[in-house]
Amino acid sequence: MKSNSFRLKIALLSGAISGGLLIAAGVLFWQLTQRLDLARVDRELRNLGSSHLDRVNGGDHWVRFESALGFVSGRERSGKFILWVKHGDRVLHQSPDWPAGLDPARFAQLTDYEAPFRLAPGQEPPPPPRRAEPISPTNPALPRKEPQFLTREVDGRQWRVGVMGNPYLTLALGADLGEFSGSLAHLRRVYLTALPVVLLLVAAGAWLLAARALRPVTALTHTVERITARGLDQRIPALAYDREMERLITVFNAMMDRLEKSFHQASRFSADAAHELKTPLTIMQGEVEAALQHAPSGSEQQRVFGDLLEEIQRLKSITQKLLLLSQADAGQLQLDRQPLDFTGAVRELMEDTEILAGDLKLEANLQPGVRVVADADLLQQVLHNLASNAVKYNHPAGSIRFELATEDAHATLRVHNTGPGLKAEDQEKLFERFHRGDSARNRAVAGVGLGLSLSREIARAHGGELVLETSSPAETTFALRLPRAMG
């Protein structure tokens, strides 16, 4: 998978967003749970302590109260609660296991009373209710001060302390947060254990979501891959996808309609033009040949007629190549496939090349008995084009080397020639129609830039390929691959 995959980017982005939201929600849930549990502890402390502040009770009462706290927490959890009570300047009670580092003198001083009671500055507090009588409108309970809660850590233990009181008593009731912290720690472990699994599920869901979102693009890609000269009728059904993709698919299909129409028009024009030019060119050739025969030997007329005949032959060659190319574009190139001795055909090619080569040196390394199934006439055009290019674009006293060998199910012919080589920009456009390199853009080197394009189309029509393998200042190599004839 490439790192710049659009699907991977979508999956990572959606996964990161979902995972980030999940983690943020977990953190918020954790904080909220911590606050709610702490508020629950505060309510428990307030309910336990405030119910004993209606009166002014003595030390025995607080001993019994602490004993009752042991039953609340459970005997196996002794030490969960601690108690400290002060009356005026005298401490009435302090739990035996009250932490030494927890100094009640440093607790906040309570000044405000709970509603609806309010004590004005300088006003004397109400007297305590009579001990022998129950609390009633005639024997009212003492007003309670607004409690305060704080958290302190002493000797490795965390305590939540509620400080509350009435006009005469100050009570500090603390709860060990160990159990509270333990439950939160368990919750944290469960969350952290489940988080990777959930993130993996989120990532898998994001990957599938990205695949679903990119399905129209994938279909578009597959359609484009199938587009060839014979596959311009490829279309994507717009109704199969969501509305957001309908416009893209509609525009693509409309573009393909225009492309198919233009291509067929261009193909028909090339074929029709080539076909219509054949007859007048043949007539012109006959007339010029007749005039050439009647022209005085060595005269200016004979030279002019000779040049005209050469240009007519050149035009006939162009029209023939255009006709073959238009047939190849339309997938209508007719092949008369027959078993062919490829080795023998290359040997004959070398004999013809030797006549044209002049002072060029010819070399050969041909595997004997190589056979292909091909149209002999069309294959001969390819071979002669490769050989003529090797002769035309060569150094004086250079060399041409032919190599023929079998590679798996293919027979490969390589034609090497010394020469100036091709520039990088010419290599990219080498098989384009009517393209000629700088060294070929003059009339001294015959050709119109159709030979290699036609040769490649013929090779592909046979199920093979023609490629430029190498091109350097020292040597240029073309490789023609054709399927072998088996058996």
Give the model confidence (pLDDT) of 109-166 as tens digits: 888 888 888 777 778 888 999 888 898 888 999 999 999 999 998 888 889 999 999 9
> 3-state DSSP call for residue 273?
helix
* Cα distances (angstroms) measured from residue 169 to each of 7, 53, 295: 70, 8, 144
Give the model confidence (pLDDT) of 262-291 as tens digits: 666 666 655 555 556 667 777 777 877 888
CB atoms within 10 A of CB 440: 17
Among 241, 234, 272, smallest CA distance to 255 is for: 234
pLDDT of 105 over the 90 cut: no
pLDDT confidence bin for 242, thresholds 50/70/90:
low
Burial of 187 (0-12, 13-18, 19+ CB in 10 A): middle
* Strand pairing class (337-341; 476-483): unpaired
As a whole number, the mean pLDDT across the chain is 81
Task: Say which residue, 255 or 264, is predicted with more confidence.
Answer: 255
Among 78, 55, 54, smallest CA distance to 67 is for: 78
Task: Say which residue, 401 or 298, is predicted with more confidence.
Answer: 401
According to the model, what pLDDT value does residue 303 have? 83
Task: Give the containing element (helix H, strand E) for 215.
Answer: helix 215-225
Helix axes 243-294, 300-329, angle to 10 degrees: 150
CB atoms within 10 A of CB 321: 22
Give the model confidence (pLDDT) of 204-218 as tens digits: 887 887 777 777 777
Q: Residue 137, preceding bond cis, omega within 30 degrees?
A: no
Average pLDDT over residues 464-472: 89
According to the model, what pLDDT value does residue 438 have? 52
> 3-state DSSP call for residue 159?
strand
Q: How far apart are the first and last CA of the chain?
A: 42
pLDDT confidence bin for 330, thresholds 50/70/90:
low
Q: Which two tokens stand for residue 432?
A: 């384009």
pLDDT confidence bin for 76, thresholds 50/70/90:
very low
pLDDT of 198 over the 90 cut: no
Cα-only R_g, the chain = 50
> 3-state DSSP call for residue 149?
strand
Which distant-in-sequence residues (6+ apart) come within 8 Å of 302 by Cβ?
A: 292, 295, 296
pLDDT of 53 over the 80 cut: yes
Distance CA 21, CA 52 (A): 47
Q: Mean pLDDT: which of 114-128, 190-204, 208-222, 404-418 is highest? A: 404-418
CB 305 within 8 A of CB 295: yes
Distance CA 369, CA 405 (A): 10
According to the model, what pLDDT value does residue 241 have? 58
pLDDT confidence bin for 481, thresholds 50/70/90:
very high
According to the model, what pLDDT value does residue 443 have? 46
Give the model confidence (pLDDT) of 416-461 as tens digits: 999 887 877 777 788 877 666 655 444 445 556 677 888 888 888 8
Strand ranges, E, within 56-195: 81-87, 90-94, 148-154, 157-165, 169-176
| Whether this model's pTM surpasses 0.85 | no
Please tell me the least confidently modeled range out of 354-368, 406-420, 429-443: 429-443
Strand partners, 470: 477
Burial of 399 (0-12, 13-18, 19+ CB in 10 A): middle
